């Protein structure tokens, strides 16, 4: 099964009131991460990035000043994804609503895409735990974050892709079928 693991960084937590400022993705195929098949861009939100978000993500107004607007960034991201199933950590509650809202706010033509949320992998493996955030998953799997900037979409995708593979192999060692629910979501055409 081919997957595109992705992550977004945004100006806040509300898909309707905040904007995407970074997109990163990497392709998983045949149970391997293909780092050479990756996508990453800053996105110009056309408004100042709040200081709290800059301190949290490391992304400043200077990073996004010359970046493409959301319409261009999502079109490029959609071409990169193609017909693959996409996956994000907490994607059902965070990333996919941001993409849907960005398409609606900017009148971007959409298509349907299948997506999965890696939180469901964590819940399958660690049923007794109440904590399934990416930091908790990384700690349980012993994945080091040394030298990787957390809350930067590029770093988070690198960490998440490794975590997804390790969790997937625990459940389905050959990584042929993703053992979590697949959802249908709105995605740029």
Q: Where are the domains of the chain?
A: 3-188
Is residue 1 pLDDT above 90, yes or no? no
Mutual orientation of helices 134-141 and 153-171 as an angle, nearest 10°?
Answer: 60
32 CB-near residues (< 8 Å, 6+ apart): 165
How many beta carbons lie within 10 A of that of residue 108, not counting itself? Answer: 18
Rounded Cα gap, residues 96 and 92, in angstroms: 6
CATH 3.30.420.10 fits 3-188, yes or no: yes
Structure tokens at 104: 């609606």
Among candidate residues 90, 88, 25, 22, the one with its CA nearest the CA of residue 56? 22
Q: What per-residue confidence (pLDDT) applies to 189? A: 94
What percent of the chain is modeled with pLDDT above 70? 100
List strands edge to edge, sheet with 110-117: 32-42, 20-29, 3-10, 85-88, 110-117, 183-188
Q: What per-residue confidence (pLDDT) applies to 59? A: 98
Q: What per-residue confidence (pLDDT) applies to 171? A: 94
> Considering the entire predicted model, what is its pTM?
0.96
| Predicted confidence (pLDDT) per residue in 61-82, tens digit | 999 999 999 999 999 999 999 9
| Predicted confidence (pLDDT) per residue in 149-186, tens digit | 999 999 999 999 999 999 999 999 999 899 999 999 99
How many beta carbons lie within 10 A of that of residue 20, not counting itself? Answer: 25
Mean pLDDT, rounded, of the chain: 97
Q: What per-residue confidence (pLDDT) applies to 30? A: 85
| Predicted confidence (pLDDT) per residue in 11-44, tens digit | 999 999 999 999 999 999 988 999 999 999 999 9
Rounded Cα gap, residues 91 and 88, in angstroms: 5
Q: What per-residue confidence (pLDDT) applies to 35? A: 94
How would you classify the pairing of strands 3-10 and 85-88?
parallel
Is residue 102 pLDDT above 90, yes or no? yes
Rounded Cα gap, residues 145 and 165, in angstroms: 16
Burial 159-180 (b: 16+ CB within 10 A, else e): bbbbbbbbbbeeeeeebeebeb
**Mean pLDDT within 94-114:** 98
């Amino acid at each position: 099964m081919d997957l595109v693991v992705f992550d977004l960084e945004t100006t806040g937590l509300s898909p309707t009131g905040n904007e995407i400022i970074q997109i990163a993705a990497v392709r998983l195929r045949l149970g391997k991460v293909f780092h050479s098949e990756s996508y990453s861009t800053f996105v110009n939100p056309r408004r100042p990035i709040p200081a709290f978000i800059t301190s949290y993500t490391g992304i400043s107004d200077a990073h996004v000043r010359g970046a493409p607007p959301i319409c261009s960034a999502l079109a490029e991201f959609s071409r990169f994804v193609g017909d693959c199933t996409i996956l994000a950590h907490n994607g059902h509650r965070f990333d996919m609503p941001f993409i849907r809202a960005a398409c609606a706010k900017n009148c971007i033509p959409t298509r349907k895409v299948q997506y999965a949320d890696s939180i469901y992998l964590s819940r399958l493996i660690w049923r007794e735990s109440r904590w399934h955030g990416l930091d908790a998953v990384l700690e349980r799997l012993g994945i080091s974050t040394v030298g990787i900037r957390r809350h930067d979409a590029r770093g988070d995708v690198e960490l998440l892709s490794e975590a997804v593979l390790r969790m997937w192999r625990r459940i389905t060692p050959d990584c042929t079928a993703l053992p979590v629910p697949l959802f249908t979501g709105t995605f740029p055409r």
